[in-house]
Copies of this chain bind each other. A is one copy, B any other.
């Protein structure tokens, strides 16, 4: 399987980390990305510029390959289905991507499979949404094409209705959560399933982006087991081959609910490159190449801070404070090979390790205070 010709749809930072992990096994990887200057460009064994949403481009890209995977869900699934019918291994399977691409289908899938999730109502357009004033306050989510906080709005009351998206979406009860958790789970062709330790994510208060996370999450063993059980059952219900990142809410009552899932490596697993016996990226390769899954045991507590473009700066990226970070023991910056910074753009991340949670928290605060991505041209 290691000699297969492998394609990845998407050449962003997740692709970059997949490529880096693939060096150990000399995998022959072909990247398709619409951006000629995508993060993967410089080190991909093969790189093709092209649309991920165009049927012919995706189909032609895949037809000379053996295995096709993704690092972003917004891809042409019809083309992937055609490739799958011709005998290509397409992992995650097109049927799984299709269900997850549309948050409406995703939510219904949880209900059908008795997987716990927040109460919701499907809506067709703005007028339809307006009929559900009683359901507010709620999150209003676009069915398709939302990501990293885009395509999600908070509707507090009738006053917010005029700004509601006018497309098919769903209203989801705002959960008064205690913590946001994530479990990355891998499932291989044989149906073997393995979870990474549950992590605790802290989101940016405005921009709905992961700001930082701690691994392991500070939760009771019972909650941890509940989170992992849901992640395993969700991967099993989808029958996915590959990684599934399951984002969860821990409610104030100790209930664990699925927020959403991603069928690929995820921001909530970057720290596993440094902190776990197997990284999420290597685990993805293992899962889709028909190999045994690797140990996910952590070497110790760790944290991950997203390196977001500083507000007020747009232009060639300058990483202020890198040397300070590199002078701090077990602080590992990872940059995404993006030339231009913009406010809140994901420019890199920093993995931080320490022997105990208390010193880890202090180190995280130190890191957050000492690094910023700016540009000498203010935005």
Residues of A within 8 A of B (CB): 2, 16, 19-20, 23-26, 28, 42-45, 277, 286, 291-292, 294-295, 297, 299-300, 319, 322-323, 326-327, 329-330, 332-337, 353
Identical copies of this chain, number: 2
Given A43-B44, A286-B326, A292-B326, 17 more contacts at CB 8 Å? A2-B322, A16-B23, A19-B23, A23-B43, A24-B332, A24-B335, A25-B335, A26-B335, A26-B337, A43-B45, A292-B327, A294-B326, A294-B329, A295-B329, A295-B330, A299-B299, A299-B300
| Complexed CA–CA distance, A291 and B331 (Å) | 13
**A319–B277 touching, CB < 8 Å:** no
Of all chain B residues, the one with the shortest Cβ separation from A291 is B326
**B43–A330 touching, CB < 8 Å:** no
* A277: B residues at CB distance < 8 A: 329-330, 353
* A24: B residues at CB distance < 8 A: 20, 332-335
Residue pairs across A and B with Cβ atoms less than 8 A apart, 14 shown, are A2-B319, A16-B23, A19-B23, A20-B20, A24-B332, A25-B335, A26-B337, A277-B329, A277-B353, A286-B326, A291-B323, A294-B326, A297-B330, A299-B299
Closest Cβ–Cβ distance, residue A326 to chain B (whole Å) = 5
Of all chain B residues, the one with the shortest Cβ separation from A42 is B45
Interface centre among A326, A327, A337 (most CB of B within 10 A): A326
* A322: B residues at CB distance < 8 A: 2
Of all chain B residues, the one with the shortest Cβ separation from A319 is B2
**Which residue of the partner chain, among B43, B329, B332, contacts A43 with CB atoms under 8 Å?**
B43
**Which residue of the partner chain, among B25, B45, B329, contacts A333 with CB atoms under 8 Å?**
B25
* A291: B residues at CB distance < 8 A: 323, 326
| Complexed CA–CA distance, A330 and B337 (Å) | 30
| Complexed CA–CA distance, A319 and B23 (Å) | 16
* A334: B residues at CB distance < 8 A: 24
Closest Cβ–Cβ distance, residue A129 to chain B (whole Å) = 43
* A299: B residues at CB distance < 8 A: 299-300
